[in-house]
Amino acid sequence: MAEERLYVLTDINIPITLSGDIAVSDISDMTVRLVKIDGTASIDFKKSDGAIDIIAGQITLRISKTSITSEGVYFIYVLVTDGDGKVLGLTPTPLHINFYKNY
């Protein structure tokens, strides 16, 4: 299967799958941070801000067209807060994504 190309300045919905000891129903908040490999950009997407939806057990990261404006490789970091207030750092797969120019 070919890698899906993600483009800057576009709306993107990315499904997120959890594994390990946390269930979707245990999540009270979630943050996905994208950090450009050269350190020039860092963007947080939070459930509490409406950028992450959890509907019927499916987690979706919603990246608006104004969020990623610079092409390049971005590292992915995921933090989840469970119902007890415990913050867990999760290792995503993949560990990075690449955004391309759309023009």
Please write the tens of the pLDDT for every residue from 36-69.
999 999 999 999 999 999 998 889 999 999 999 9
CA dihedral 52, 55, 59, 64 (to 10 degrees): -40
Q: For residue 103, give every residue at least 6 positions away whose Cβ sits within 8 Å of its Cβ, in sequence order, or none.
A: none
Mean pLDDT of the chain: 90
pLDDT at 21 over 90: no
What's the pLDDT score for residue 36?
Answer: 97
Question: In whole angstroms, what is the distance from residue 96 CA to residue 38 CA?
Answer: 13
Question: In whole angstroms, what is the distance from residue 97 CA to residue 93 CA?
Answer: 10
What's the pLDDT score for residue 61?
Answer: 93
What's the pLDDT score for residue 75?
Answer: 95
